[in-house]
Amino acid sequence: KNQVEQSPQSLIILEGKNCTLQCNYTVSPFSNLRWYKQDTGRGPVSLTIMTFSENTKSNGRYTATLDADTKQSSLHITASQLSDSASYICVVSASGTYKYIFGTGTRLKVLA
């Protein structure tokens, strides 16, 4: 069964600190993996997309890694800001389908 699991479920950090969010998936055949940021009550916004051959991708203070062998990805946030408070969702798509499989997200809260 195609699944995407994220950890931790929630996280609280102080402004300026770094954090790492995890994503494990069992989607096959793998096509690509995306990380989205979703502010409360808003639609998700894409941060990064990685295909099988890519193992790291950066977008400003956000850096995503992918290990296709172990089927794991991480999203590292550097020097966190209050505006980083949001849910971060890992989404994996399978080749040849229209389906995107969403994780349940990690809820990040950055405190001043």
Partner 1 sequence: ETGVTQSPTHLIKTRGQQVTLRCSSQSGHNTVSWYQQALGQGPQFIFQYYREEENGRGNFPPRFSGLQFPNYSSELNVNALELDDSALYLCASLTRPGTGGNEQYFGPGTRLTVT
Closest to partner 1 by CB, 17 or 42: 42
Maximum CA pair distance of the chain? 45
Instruction: Report if residue 60 touches partner 1, rule: CB under 8 A.
Output: no
CB of 69 to partner 1, least distance (A): 21
CB of 7 to partner 1, least distance (A): 13
Look up tokens 């051959």; give the residue.
53
CB of 61 to partner 1, least distance (A): 21
CA distance 99 to 85: 28
- Over the window 67 to 96, marking each residue x when it contacts partner 1 by CB under 8 A and - when it does not, the resulting string is ----------------------x---xxxx
CA distance 45 to 10: 19
Across 8-24, b (16+ Cβ under 10 Å) vs e yields: eeebebeeeeebebebb
Interface with partner 1 by CB under 8 A: which residues?
A: 4, 31-32, 41-46, 49, 51, 89, 93-100, 102-105, 107
